[in-house]
Amino acid sequence: MGTEAAAERLNFSSAAAVAQGLEGVGYLADPATPAVVWLGQRLGKPVLVEGPAGTGKTELAKAVAAMSGARLIRLQCYEGLDEAKALYEWNYKRQLLRIQAGRSQAGRSQAGGSQAGGSQAGRSQAGRSQAGGEGWADLEEDIFSEEFLLARPLLEAIRATDPVVLLIDEVDRVEVETEALLLEVLSDYQVSIPELGTMRSTQVPLVFLTSNNTRELSEALKRRCLYLHIDYPDIERERRIVKARVPGIANELAEQVARVVASLRTLDLHKHPSISETIDWARTLVLLGTDSIDAEVVRDSLHILLKYRADIARATKELALP
Amino acid sequence: MLDLLSEFIGALRDAGLAVSLSEAVDAAEAVSQIGIEDRALFKAVLGATLVKSYAYWDTFDLVFETYFALRGPEFDIEGRDANPPASESLGSGHHNGRCGLSHQELNELLYQALLAGDALTVSSLARAAVSMFAGMEAGRPVGGTYYLFRTLRQVDLDGLAERMMVTARSAGDGPLPALDERLAADEHRSRLDHLRHEIEAEIRRRLVGDRGPEAVARTLRKPMPEDVDFMHASRDELAALRRAIYPLTRKLASCLARRRRHGRHGPLDFRATVRHSLSYGGVPVEPHFRRPTPSKPEIMVIADISGSVAAFARFTLQLVYAISSQFSRVRSFVFVDGIDEVTALFEGSDDVGEALASVNANAEVIWVDGHSNYGHALQVFWDRWGPEVSARTNVIILGDARNNYHSSSAWVVATLRTQAKHVWWLNPEPRSYWDTGDSIASEYAAACDGAFECRNLRQLERFVEQLA
């Protein structure tokens, strides 16, 4: 029943509907984005989102989850991420406890039955191996059951019965070898656990992968994904984003903010101002009660937009700030 | 539809994109879902399924625009339909790309549209401008750039920019503050870029109409930035290279840093293993290993910066400095016929590009006549810095080994080799040109640990990667 509902809810009727839905939750997408999201849902394929930092890649997954009322499951990638953190892990400690509990039970029953104290050690040794022989299959079945399984994000997304959006964030941070972990999940939506067998998803979750492009992802991964490149917005769209995200900002101010930022992005900087930095800047200006931007205002608040000393120096020179 | 799609994919492959079979299947499935009515959607969908790297996006764009140039409803090749819906709002009833407007009127309309930032009108006017100014004739064997030049000469982008600035200045009272002026200029420039792009697209459409997509795609084919030859790059290509090298260096740096940290396991760390075994009741479940600490090599770059190979030296130095954290020390020397150390110039600035620019002004590389003299440069290097080359030093020599028939001093390279860890020679010329004319590449190559042909970014990247 849950899956029925999921199938229904994560079903976008058209690219235009996606665009509308995204706008409804305050995410103003560029023209290509809704089309790719819609297609990803239609074809049941993951969407690989690339682009400069701070253009709303992670935000896109959150917005899609919000608009469709789905749960967002997030896997933050980092160097050294392994399957124990990404897929599943056996709960060692609980398994140990379970084994010990079983052993002490068995031990107690044997100790009651035995008489001769001298041969205790030898007999207990034999008894245990015998008890182990009997109970081993049960025990193994028991400690390798779902009760002792810790589901990590990928498995959790596969097992979910409610609609989920799976976000695999900054996938370029994991090593090439670890990428292979993702392949089974991404192409077949299943996870193979040697002790339990293959777990298949009851529904196809919508998957987003984001990458800052610090390295080339493997062909195998790319082949399984749809590709979406999100770039910095143009002046008009940035103005609308600022309007939507910063309550109480005047139209003219939003326009000026967008124009200054667009100009900064044409410069040759270490790091261009991101959308989130634009929004921060606009918020600051509103808080300061600024109603129009001039050179002094830009100079004094440039450090919100640019985070490198060399960048600030260059921008000051290029924009002829005092 | 399928035929069309597979033809298109064939064209993409010809243009150098690797499109796998499963991607082609995806594209076909996707297209069957959307149909072909919405051109923008169609393009987005094809892009998402077929192109998996932003570096190839421009190529895809070009192939798409050529291939589907005439397959949209709104594009009619004949000039008579050059006024699409948008231009109807321009008033004065019926006007037509060819006869309705005079030269001045068209430019005036264009100027108004640009000033207002009306992208749709600009596009339609660009179309009209091409039909009026380019003078395209069917079957004429000239390239698209010829028509582009003719159109742009009449449209006069610089003049338009100037007029827009004047208007922007007169809009406010008094002179415009410098900041506003800059903002206006940036905005105008982006609009003019849009106009130029529209004009190019229109010319391409007409060429396709005349000759068919295959022929046009062939003439427009450009090498990818990483395949551009350093020695023969045009100005635009060099600019593209400069843009391409920044992400490349970042990628290389993070890749190398990762490899260093995740090198193979060191020897067993007994203490840590016992310590961690305590939480499993003394059973060493997880063995721990010591982190290996591989030594960092020291690099000496000796670069020929005479005219013919300057661009190559520039890119190599940039790449080496970008990953300088992977080396214990990087020292750089530049020469033409004299040689000078420029390490200080690079260390004093955090912007490699700026440092490279200042090399020409600050380094004393001219000894007699400013023609490459490898023999003399190497000899001076040996006399002044030779003793500092140690067994941990990697020496990289950059140059085409065109020695202008001076003495070679190849013994310096041979001696360096015995003293240093490695001596490598990177030559930006294709291997088949080595030893032609005044090149003595193989004489040096014989004295080095290895000599590599390094004509483009791809080869350079491969070399630097194996270096660290």
Q: In whole angstroms, what is the distance from residue A6 CA to residue B442 CA?
A: 69
Q: How confident is the model at residue A194 (pLDDT cuts 50, 70, 90)?
A: confident
pLDDT at site A6: 42
Closest-CA distance of chain B to residue A26, Å: 22
pLDDT at site B200: 80
How far is the first Cα of chain B from the last one, in angstroms, to the nearest whole number? 50
- What value does the mean pLDDT take over residues B430-459? 84
Residue A149 DSSP code: E
Contacting residues for B140 by C-beta, under 8 A, at least 6 apart? none
pLDDT at site A46: 92
Residue B402 DSSP code: B
Residues of chain A contacting B52 with CB distance shorter than 8 Å = 48, 222-223, 225, 227
Which residues partner with B423 through β-bridges? B395
Q: Chain A within 8 Å of B177 (Cβ-Cβ)?
A: yes
Residue length, chain B?
Answer: 468
pLDDT at site A128: 47
* pLDDT tens-place string over residues B251-295: 666 666 666 665 556 778 888 888 888 888 888 878 888 876 666
Which residues partner with A228 through β-bridges? A49
pLDDT at site A175: 78
Residue B439 DSSP code: B
Is B17 in contact with B51 (CB distance < 8 Å)?
yes
pLDDT at site B222: 65
Q: Is the CB of B45 less than 8 angstroms away from the CB of A320?
A: no
Residue B450 confidence (pLDDT) above 80: yes
Q: Chain A within 8 Å of B218 (Cβ-Cβ)?
A: no
Residue B99 DSSP code: T
ipTM of this complex prediction, to 2 decimal places: 0.76
pLDDT at site A278: 92
Closest-CA distance of chain B to residue A244, Å: 22
Which residues partner with B439 through β-bridges? B402
Q: What is the pTM of this model?
A: 0.71
Which residues partner with A74 through β-bridges? A167
Q: Chain A within 8 Å of B271 (Cβ-Cβ)?
A: no
* pLDDT tens-place string over residues A41-98: 888 889 999 988 888 899 999 999 998 888 999 999 888 788 888 888 888 888 888 8
Percent of chain B at pLDDT exceeding 90: 0
Q: Is the CB of B53 less than 8 angstroms away from the CB of A216?
A: yes
What are the percentages of helix, strand and coil residues in chain B, rounded to 5?
Answer: 60, 10, 30
Q: Is the CB of A319 less than 8 angstroms away from the CB of B182?
A: yes
Q: Chain A within 8 Å of B55 (Cβ-Cβ)?
A: no
Torsion of CA B46, B51, B53, B56, to 10 degrees: -100
* pLDDT tens-place string over residues A230-272: 989 888 899 999 998 888 888 888 988 998 898 888 887 778 8
Residues 60-99 of A with CB under 8 A from B: 79-80, 92, 96
pLDDT at site A167: 93
pLDDT at site A282: 92
Q: Is the CB of B48 less than 8 angstroms away from the CB of A36?
A: yes
Q: In whole angstroms, what is the distance from residue B151 CA to residue B130 CA?
A: 6
* pLDDT tens-place string over residues B57-108: 878 888 888 777 665 444 444 433 434 443 333 333 333 444 456 777 777 8
pLDDT at site B225: 65
Residue B2 confidence (pLDDT) above 90: no
**CA-to-CA dists, residue B152 to A68, B114, B130, B145, B204, angstroms:** 49, 15, 9, 10, 15
pLDDT at site B92: 36
Q: Is the CB of A227 less than 8 angstroms away from the CB of B53?
A: yes
Give the residue on A whose Cα is nearest the Cα of B57.
Answer: A229
Centre a 10 Å sphere on the Cβ of residue B201 and count the other Cβ atoms it contains. 20
Residue A7 confidence (pLDDT) above 70: no
Contacting residues for B74 by C-beta, under 8 A, at least 6 apart? B84
Closest-CA distance of chain A to residue B41, Å: 6
